[in-house]
Structure 1
Amino acid sequence: MLVRGALIERLFDQRDKRLLILSAPAGFGKSTVLYQFGQRLQQTGARLAWLSCDEADSEPQRLLLYLIGAIERVVPGFGEQVSNLLHSEITLPLEALVDAFQADLQKVEGELYVALDDFHRIRHPGLVSGARYLVERLPKNVHLITCTRFKPRFLYDEPWAFWLKAEDLRLSLAETQAYLLDVRQLELSEAEVELLYRRTEGWITALHLAVLALQRHSDRAAFLAELSGTERNIADYLAEDVLDSLPEDLQRFLEQTSILDEFNADLCNALTGERDGQDLLDRLQGDQLFLIALDDHGEWFRYHHLFAEFLQGRLNKRGDAGRLLHAAARWCEGHDLADRAIRYALRARDYSFAAELLERQGARLVAGNRVYAILAMLKSVPAEVIRDHVVFQIFYAWQLAFEQRFAEAEALIEELSGRLLQGRGKAMHFGMTELLAVTQVLKALVLLYQDKLEACLKIARQWLAMVPENQPVFRASLSCVQAAAYALLGEFGEASKAITVARTCLRVADSEYLNVVTSLIEALICKECGELERGRSISEAARARVERVFGRRSRVGGPLSLAYADLLYEQDRHAAILTELPRATTWRDVATPVELVSRGQLVMARGRFFAGEAEQALEQLDEWIAGLHGPGYERVYAHAIACKVQFLLWLRRPNEAERSCLQLERHLAVLPEGRYPDAHVSLALAQAHLALSERRADKAQAQLEQCLAKQTAEHQRDRRLRLSLLLSVASWRKGNSDKAFALFQSVLEEAWARGYRRLFLDEALWLLPLWEAWSQAEPLQAQGWSGLAEGLREQCRRLAVDPEAFEENQDISHREREILRFVAAGLSNRDIAQAVHLSEATIKWHLHNLFAKLGVRSRTQAVLKGKSMGLLSEA
């Protein structure tokens, strides 16, 4: 037996109530919970009288006799007074009998619980008032517990009653897992358990019957995939235990409305041709017949999935489903529920009507980000039907794009655009004109995510000039695409102008989705401009909008969370969003481009690395980098490799960092000059980090100054801050302390005021020595930044880097490191001299100095010490 511990505790906490009710449809485990609760009560010394009700017990006198008998088994001698009245020849009113029963209960000492199982079977009309009369007069030590399928007719919102309903009795995922794995001893995977949980929706009898059927099938995966309410065990149970006891008009209503995914009274009336929809829904609610409310107002409902499938199976035998689906489609069309109308038309195989609806409503559905729902519907449409309707092919092009089959999507869009434009001489109705614009938005998106940015901008400009002012949704869409393309080209000024156009259009348009996309791009622009707080504010307002309009776990919020996480990371607030990122980074389609995915991946890797899980973070980063090959990944690959170089240098593995840096140089060398400015900034930072670790401050300074000279635009503040901070370290290492300190203080004040925190903490390995020198030279200036200094030291300690030993290997020159690597490779002094074009005597002199700096006496000791200090890779 599955132990329902949480429910038992809830009931036990309410055990002092006069009446406790367990109310749910058939098969929800009410009697089992009641039995377990009774056991718990008996453990406390309470007495439990149990009566299983039957329809034959409905007559009040008989029910009282059976109640007396049940109580007498635990309270010997109970009921003498009321028994005498029941066996007398005088016919007494029910109230008199209840009063006598109450008088006998008053004599009972200690806690007494009376359980009435299957109380819904008691149907005598006089018991409604009689039951309430009894409960209101119960002694404080006597409590009634009832199990029933229906809401008790005598019960309102009473303070003396506690009520568990179907939603309370549903099994949780953990209980489902316990039942399947522990009670039934089945060897099921986590995915199979979750599938059974979703299909049964916490209905324990369905779960039990599914398990029985599962044991008869050799192909478990196929059975689970096809499990529905038409499965023999489940269908027989529902027919015999639920449906057969209902009047015929209610059965007919259930069958006719079972084709609806969601419904209200008006929609039900449209299907049945009657006007009693609200009355029947109220009755189903009261009888708890697998009806689930979808809103707080009790207007919209759905059936339990298995119950609906069972009813649909019965309906299909009558052949009425097509007519009803068409009526549902017409009703939904008339009530501005276009996606539902299309879904019902497709299910009715009325493809012409569905295509007509899509032509008229498709553009609005795209603007509202309802594309995914449409694509899911089209999966069931035969290929030949899709070929016969241009509108279906337009959405099929979206499907190709979502699957990253960009070349196929682009070719199909070209063909469709040609067909539509050639028909311009004919009267093209307004809906198809809108869809023609939609295809151009899609084409621009496909070009954007293939990194064909100039072609994307050409399409966007061309169609922005053609789309009339009274089409704000499409003007906003094209402006967003345009802004994204400009941003990827590094032209953030132009991107800002495009976003301003989009915002202007959206003031008079109704597209919550485009408002979110616009906010996302604005947040990215803010990040580049160094306006972290403004970007965070925009992101948070958009996230609140997403949750309100689309729901907490909506896919619409995924891309936004990636941009938001990037901003939060810089402010060292990213812990609050880390749990959202794994899910958001798994979406790879035109709605979540790899450019955004990269931000989430880097936030996860950096967050993990600098929290102390360095090796795990590096492994995670390498796993991601392994999939970043081919066109469209140029920028992302550069950012990932630069991050890896930084990680390796923190881990004191300079050889591996050098190889990664060379890999990045070769990657960018073959790309068009000036095409990926942000990637070249990442390369400059990686090269500077490596040069600083090799004590080549002059090289680091030259690289940083050369790159910084190109970052003159107002919007390139984020890049300038990163380059300038590292440049201050290089200048100090080169001996130009005054310049270094002035630059460091300037960057520190500006970046800190703008909300940057990780900028400093992630560079602690290089910044802390500079900080110590600056604080000695400028103690008054440094005094106000003591908190940051401690943060830098804490970051080093978290990654097992001793701040006191920073200078331990700083005296090792680049040439000495190079010679040490040759020594580790087993080369002789002569071989090393030939390799580096120096004399053998010079090599001996370098080795003499190196041994002294390392405190060793032999080549073997030098290699071992070099590895321990991170001068040599362990590989």
Structure 2
Amino acid sequence: MPLVPHTKIAIPPLPPEFVERAALRAELDASVAADMALVCAPAGYGKTLLLADWSRTSPGVDTAWVSLDRDDNDPRRLWASIVAALAACPSVPDSSRLHGPWVWRADAQPEFLAELIDALGALPRPIRLILDDVHELVDTEALHGMQILTRNRTPGVQLVLSSRLDPPLSLPRLRLAGRLWELRAAQMRFSVSETTALLEKSGLHLTPAQVDLLHQRTGGWAAGLRLAATGAAESADLDAFVTQFSGNESSVADYLVGEVLSGLPADVQDFLRAISISEPIPTDLAAELSGRQDAGRLLDRLERQTSLLSPTGCQRDAYSVQELLRAHLRADLHRQGVQRATDLHRVAARWWAGRLEPVQALDHAALSQDAGLLKGLLHQFAVPLILAGDHGPLRRALATAGAQAVATNPWLALISALTHFEAGELRAARGDLRHARQSWPAHGSAGLSVLRAVAEQFSAGVAQTPPSPPKFAVRDISELPTEPELEALARLSRGTTRLERHDLAGARVEFEAALHLSRSHRFDYLTLQCLALLAGVAGSAGEVQTMRALSVQAVAKAGEHGWEDSTWSGAAMAMLAYSALMRTDTDEAERLATQGLALGGAASSPRLRFALHAVQGAATFDLGDRAGGLAQLQQARSEFGDVSASAEQVGSLAMLEFRAALLLGHSAAARTVRGWLADRTSDNAELVVMQAWTEATGGRHEHARSLLRPVLNGAVPALLPHTLVDSWLLETSLAVASGERPAARRALQSSLAVAEPLDALRPFAHAGPGIRELLVHQHGSFGASDAFAERAIAAGAGGAERRAMLSERELTVLGLLPSMLSLDEIAADLTVSVNTVKSHVRSIYTKLGVSSRRLAVLTAHEHGLLTSTLRLG
């Protein structure tokens, strides 16, 4: 038999940049339960190095290694190499038949292999035979010999095959018999951490984002990562190289052609080029693109035999091509002629459109260079995409259609306007709307009118100055086409119109109908809009719990789809922040306002930014930095300027700033705020209450009460539900100051009744000491409002500092003071002397600044140190 070079049967050395893969080594260790192992993956997945490392780290088993090549299709050379590798194992005794001599006769291969198998069976220790690059064997006789070797089970010998393709060795039969263990490409892909290690060992130190990008581009393909490392090391602009690295990079292309594609038939390579335009590639689309009826079988065979593709979806009816390979195939397709590529994209666009997959359809249409096809698909899919929130593909398609096409086509202009409005690009949106008006047809369709109505309302909604009523509004549902997306938009338009007219019930009906349609047809972005709008309606109606619940749903929907930067998510965040402020959850209000300001929606909406800044300022005020909080409120209003906003919004934020200014004694600042609100709204209760507060602060109590009467009897409407709480509390204070205790108690009862469903605790937190004392005195007599009254007593009481002043024992004694127990009985209850109790009581009086037990209990309740029910005579 021929002489065998030592390098052919030596375990290959490991390069310096080799990354140990302990998990895969452990899997290979587990393969010994099967007498045959197959490691199968395309070129460059690290098969050889993995097996070499495994061999070097397995001291308990001798390894015979053979590196196969094309010359081994000569059976005489093949078996000479295998016998030489086996004989070189240290555990093979000198007396073993493996040491030869061996004589090969072409007509006696079965006898030769029988003798070899007998010799292996006589070995005293286990041995592992690794045949690397089995895909090189294509000769019928050589493969027949391998078939004989695998068919015969040899105890103590494990056969390990490494191949780029599944070898023709009856693998299904071996699997069924439980004799085959397999390691495939999916398991051999590098993880992100292994990718980082490989690049660093190659002298390349990248940011985590750059590593993630290369890992994504290569799919964890070791050869691709090594080629990237080599190219990056030679590049003058590392960032640009990493960003642009693809299968069209010369070193990658050379490797793919030389090591991956060259072994495939020409028709298969052409098939791969054709299907490379789509990711993923469904089997039916592959058949359309390639014209091959056997496309499904070919995809399945390529996946099983080469691992160049991987199935996606539970039905295995679509495939994904490795990204670098796909990029190379697409570039190669264009090199063979742009026309074929555009024709394939046209086929793909129509195929996806027929399956109502608008994102893929538009993306392919944009690459088809077929303007008519693109416009037709935009007419078909643009509105559903807007409502679903898939604005990116829509923007790409509109950009491909071109500015001229958009400017002269009212449908495209309106779609473009809506996408710009949603992105906060107001100038571009208004330009599109202007083009739509200029190109408006004499007899537009109902669907076109719906689009314009919504676009006009968007424009009015973000106007910097008070807008004139939009010329287009959808007033009658019978005007609409039957398409659910257009009906949903019409409902949104009608609801917005009714909301502007303060028809809350009508607005709610329309928004709920739009919400039902959006959920039925998975228009997720419209769902977010409807939830935010319905939350606003609930807030305006004083349904605070409903407002909070809908706002939470809106924020969750935004988070689910990555729409946190939208104005709708920001609006829901602002409502949650304002609600938290009013229920004196001040830390949460400050957190939500700050979070909302950090998102993109506030940057594109002056109204939203004003609301969030104002809540943030009010929270700062309530947290103790009163001067800083007022300054933030004033700055928010100054930055807002003359931007148009609803009366409710300006009223709520003006009330926050006015009250802060008045509490700090800044009467001039308070007058400025009232003047600002008066300039922007007509007669309302908020303006009256502001004036009454001012009069009361100046000691003109009777005048203040006369101002309040039309507010309290409903003659002057309020912009905000909370304003009536402030009105009744002011009336309570004025009645207390006038010595009218019965009137004060009735007013306080009214304030609690109004405040409880609104969860409005903040007005009580800023109420005067007279109201707080009355709350404590009357506690237990408010009936159904008693629990809320207790919360009102504790609201903003600032008891933390006083609580820190009292010792644990003093707090215990304080907790017993509201009871009817005498000091002697308290001492007995605590098992201490009465003198000790008296000492604690004196300390409590000193720290609370009071002189009696009754005042101590009152003060403790005012500062949230007691929450039990009071019974004071």
TM-score by length of structure 2 reads: 0.68
Question: How big is the shift at 1:627?
Answer: 6.4
Residues 525 and 392 of structure 1: CA distance in aligned 2, closer, same or farther (over 3 Å): closer
The answer to whether the Cα contact below 8 Å between 2:618 and 2:630 also exists between their aligned partners in 1 is no
Correspondence for 1:634 among 588, 599, 610: 610
Question: How big is the shift at 1:249?
Answer: 1.0
Question: Which residue identity lines up with residue 167 of structure 1 in the other structure?
Answer: A
Correspondence for 1:737 among 767, 770, 776: 776
Question: How big is the shift at 1:423?
Answer: 4.7
Aligned residue number for residue 374 of structure 2: 354
Question: How big is the shift at 1:522?
Answer: 5.3
Aligned residue number for residue 219 of structure 2: 201
Q: Whole-Å Cα distance in 2 between the matches of residues 508 and 618 of structure 1?
A: 33
**What is the aligned-residue identity percentage?**
18
Correspondence for 1:314 among 297, 319, 332: 332
Q: Whole-Å Cα distance in 2 between the matches of residues 603 and 66 of structure 1?
A: 81
The answer to whether the Cα contact below 8 Å between 2:132 and 2:161 also exists between their aligned partners in 1 is yes
Q: Whole-Å Cα distance in 2 between the matches of residues 750 and 98 of structure 1?
A: 96
Question: Which residue identity lines up with residue 184 of structure 2 in the other structure?
Answer: K
Aligned residue number for residue 40 of structure 1: 57
Q: Whole-Å Cα distance in 2 between the matches of residues 235 and 308 of structure 1?
A: 11
The CA deviation string for residues 539-565 of structure 1, in whole angstroms up to 9 with x for no partner, is 77xxxxxxxxxxxxxxxxxx542778x
Q: Could you say what the CA RMSD is over the residues aligned between the two structures, in angstroms?
A: 5.2
1:477 matches 2:492: no
Question: How big is the shift at 1:206?
Answer: 1.7
- Bigger RCO of structures 1 and 2 (CA < 8 A, at least 6 apart): 1
Aligned residue number for residue 227 of structure 1: 245
- Aligned residue for 1:21, secondary structure, equals strand
Q: Whole-Å Cα distance in 2 between the matches of residues 689 and 141 of structure 1?
A: 91
Aligned residue number for residue 822 of structure 1: none
Q: Whole-Å Cα distance in 1 between the matches of residues 768 and 819 of structure 2?
A: 18
Task: Compare CA radii of gyration and give the structure with the larger one.
Answer: 2
- Aligned residue for 1:143, secondary structure, equals strand
Q: Whole-Å Cα distance in 2 between the matches of residues 260 and 603 of structure 1?
A: 48
Q: Whole-Å Cα distance in 2 between the matches of residues 761 and 299 of structure 1?
A: 63
User: Which runs of no fewer than 5 residues in structure 1 stay unpaired?
Assistant: 541-558, 565-579, 753-758, 781-804, 813-875
Which one is further off, 629-638 or 720-729? 720-729
Residues 681 and 38 of structure 1: CA distance in aligned 2, closer, same or farther (over 3 Å): farther
Question: Which residue identity lines up with residue 165 of structure 1 in the other structure?
Answer: R
Question: Which residue identity lines up with residue 324 of structure 1 in the other structure?
Answer: L
Correspondence for 1:87 among 86, 91, 103: 103
1:644 matches 2:661: no
Residues 289 and 85 of structure 1: CA distance in aligned 2, closer, same or farther (over 3 Å): same
Q: Whole-Å Cα distance in 1 between the matches of residues 599 and 387 of structure 2?
A: 32
Aligned residue number for residue 120 of structure 1: 135
Question: How big is the shift at 1:277?
Answer: 1.4
The CA deviation string for residues 165-186 of structure 1, in whole angstroms up to 9 with x for no partner, is 2222222222222222x21222
Output aligned runs, 1:820-835, within 5 Å.
none
Correspondence for 1:174 among 184, 188, 193: 193
Question: Which residue identity lines up with residue 272 of structure 2 in the other structure?
Answer: L
Q: Whole-Å Cα distance in 2 between the matches of residues 491 and 767 of structure 1?
A: 45
The answer to whether the Cα contact below 8 Å between 1:460 and 1:478 also exists between their aligned partners in 2 is no
Residues 420 and 490 of structure 1: CA distance in aligned 2, closer, same or farther (over 3 Å): closer
Question: How big is the shift at 1:254?
Answer: 1.5
Question: Which residue identity lines up with residue 609 of structure 2 in the other structure?
Answer: Y
Q: Whole-Å Cα distance in 2 between the matches of residues 361 and 717 of structure 1?
A: 48
- Aligned residue for 1:281, secondary structure, equals helix
- Aligned residue for 1:462, secondary structure, equals coil
Question: How big is the shift at 1:291?
Answer: 1.6
The answer to whether the Cα contact below 8 Å between 2:555 and 2:569 also exists between their aligned partners in 1 is no
Correspondence for 1:500 among 512, 536, 540: 512
Question: How big is the shift at 1:507?
Answer: 8.3
Question: How big is the shift at 1:250?
Answer: 1.0
Correspondence for 1:720 among 734, 759, 769: 759
The answer to whether the Cα contact below 8 Å between 2:617 and 2:629 also exists between their aligned partners in 1 is no
Q: Whole-Å Cα distance in 1 between the matches of residues 149 and 599 of structure 2?
A: 69
TM-score by length of structure 1 reads: 0.68
Residues 674 and 631 of structure 1: CA distance in aligned 2, closer, same or farther (over 3 Å): closer
Instruction: Report how many residues are paired.
Output: 719
Q: Whole-Å Cα distance in 2 between the matches of residues 510 and 347 of structure 1?
A: 27
The answer to whether the Cα contact below 8 Å between 1:50 and 1:70 also exists between their aligned partners in 2 is yes
1:11 matches 2:27: yes
Residues 253 and 595 of structure 1: CA distance in aligned 2, closer, same or farther (over 3 Å): same
Correspondence for 2:549 among 535, 550, 561: 535
1:211 matches 2:187: no
- Aligned residue for 1:113, secondary structure, equals strand
Q: Whole-Å Cα distance in 2 between the matches of residues 562 and 331 of structure 1?
A: 31
The CA deviation string for residues 42-92 of structure 1, in whole angstroms up to 9 with x for no partner, is 3xx332222212233245564343223222222334894477696265844
Residues 766 and 643 of structure 1: CA distance in aligned 2, closer, same or farther (over 3 Å): same
Question: How big is the shift at 1:255?
Answer: 1.8
Question: Which residue identity lines up with residue 107 of structure 1 in the other structure?
Answer: A
Aligned residue number for residue 86 of structure 2: 71
Question: How big is the shift at 1:142?
Answer: 3.4
Aligned residue number for residue 438 of structure 1: 451
- Aligned residue for 1:293, secondary structure, equals strand
Q: Whole-Å Cα distance in 2 between the matches of residues 144 and 807 of structure 1?
A: 90
Question: Which residue identity lines up with residue 614 of structure 2 in the other structure?
Answer: A
Question: How big is the shift at 1:708?
Answer: 4.6
Correspondence for 2:474 among 445, 449, 462: 462
- Aligned residue for 1:422, secondary structure, equals coil
Question: How big is the shift at 1:219?
Answer: 3.0
The answer to whether the Cα contact below 8 Å between 2:518 and 2:524 also exists between their aligned partners in 1 is no
Q: Whole-Å Cα distance in 2 between the matches of residues 391 and 184 of structure 1?
A: 54
Q: Whole-Å Cα distance in 1 between the matches of residues 26 and 477 of structure 2?
A: 65
Q: Whole-Å Cα distance in 2 between the matches of residues 498 and 451 of structure 1?
A: 27
Q: Whole-Å Cα distance in 2 between the matches of residues 51 and 64 of structure 1?
A: 10
Correspondence for 1:188 among 206, 214, 231: 206
- Aligned residue for 2:439, secondary structure, equals helix
Q: Whole-Å Cα distance in 2 between the matches of residues 55 and 467 of structure 1?
A: 75
Residues 445 and 83 of structure 1: CA distance in aligned 2, closer, same or farther (over 3 Å): farther
The answer to whether the Cα contact below 8 Å between 1:729 and 1:766 also exists between their aligned partners in 2 is no
Question: Which residue identity lines up with residue 374 of structure 1 in the other structure?
Answer: L
Residues 676 and 56 of structure 1: CA distance in aligned 2, closer, same or farther (over 3 Å): same
The answer to whether the Cα contact below 8 Å between 1:530 and 1:718 also exists between their aligned partners in 2 is yes
Q: Whole-Å Cα distance in 2 between the matches of residues 510 and 345 of structure 1?
A: 24
Aligned residue number for residue 249 of structure 1: 267
Aligned residue number for residue 277 of structure 2: 259
Q: Whole-Å Cα distance in 1 between the matches of residues 372 and 429 of structure 2?
A: 24
Aligned residue number for residue 37 of structure 2: 20
Residues 235 and 488 of structure 1: CA distance in aligned 2, closer, same or farther (over 3 Å): farther
Residues 467 and 211 of structure 1: CA distance in aligned 2, closer, same or farther (over 3 Å): farther
Residues 467 and 423 of structure 1: CA distance in aligned 2, closer, same or farther (over 3 Å): closer
Q: Whole-Å Cα distance in 1 between the matches of residues 229 and 277 of structure 2?
A: 27
Question: How big is the shift at 1:639?
Answer: 1.9
Q: Whole-Å Cα distance in 2 between the matches of residues 222 and 485 of structure 1?
A: 50
The CA deviation string for residues 682-705 of structure 1, in whole angstroms up to 9 with x for no partner, is 6689789999xxxx9x99xx9988
The CA deviation string for residues 479-511 of structure 1, in whole angstroms up to 9 with x for no partner, is 346657878999765553333332555687674
Q: Whole-Å Cα distance in 2 between the matches of residues 160 and 689 of structure 1?
A: 85
The answer to whether the Cα contact below 8 Å between 2:246 and 2:327 also exists between their aligned partners in 1 is yes
Q: Whole-Å Cα distance in 2 between the matches of residues 713 and 269 of structure 1?
A: 72
Aligned residue number for residue 801 of structure 1: none
Question: How big is the shift at 1:232?
Answer: 0.8
Aligned residue number for residue 556 of structure 2: 561
Question: How big is the shift at 1:235?
Answer: 0.9
The answer to whether the Cα contact below 8 Å between 2:536 and 2:547 also exists between their aligned partners in 1 is no
- Aligned residue for 1:218, secondary structure, equals coil
Output aligned runs, 1:803-818, within 5 Å.
none
- Aligned residue for 1:420, secondary structure, equals coil
Correspondence for 2:384 among 349, 359, 364: 364
1:275 matches 2:293: yes
